[in-house]
Amino acid sequence: MSTIDLTIEFGGGLELLFGNVRSHAVSLPTRVPASNSTTLSPPVSTTKPADVDYLIHHLRDHVLKERPELFMEGDTVRPGILVLINDTDWELEGEGSYQLCDCDEIVFISTLHGG
């Protein structure tokens, strides 16, 4: 199965939830379950290209160290977390439906850590 390599960065204090490590290297399969399930289950029939929605679920299930409720709300990131895809606001890139490419850099910045 082919994979794509991504660089994930956390800022604004969000790294506290990820073991206080700001930068992570993550590999994802090019095709992922459409349900965004990240468990190692038998091959599913319905798949889709790896996108940011799947990446968020992957980070929650495999990288996050504590308090998932501060990272995700529903099926997306919590309001107050800015997502940059290759230095561009994810609202300009289609948010969670952006299809990941090899060597993409995804940044998650928390804006909720006070004034």
- Footprint of other proteins (CB under 8 A): 11-16, 70, 79-80, 82, 84, 87-89, 91-92, 107, 109-115
To other proteins, the closest distance from the beta carbon of 106 in angstroms equals 13
Residue number with CB closer to other proteins (6 or 107): 107
Cα–Cα distance, 1 to 108 (Å, whole number)? 27
Residue number with CB closer to other proteins (38 or 86): 86
Cα–Cα distance, 107 to 89 (Å, whole number)? 9
Residue number with CB closer to other proteins (3 or 88): 88
Give residue for tokens 């850099």.
105
To other proteins, the closest distance from the beta carbon of 48 in angstroms equals 15
Instruction: Assign 35 to helix, strand or coil.
Output: coil
Residues 4, 100 contacting (CB under 8 angstroms) = yes
Q: Which two tokens stand for residue 17?
A: 């939830």
To other proteins, the closest distance from the beta carbon of 81 in angstroms equals 9
Residue number with CB closer to other proteins (4 or 14): 14
**Beta carbons within 8 Å of 42's beta carbon, 6+ residues apart:** none
To other proteins, the closest distance from the beta carbon of 40 in angstroms equals 29
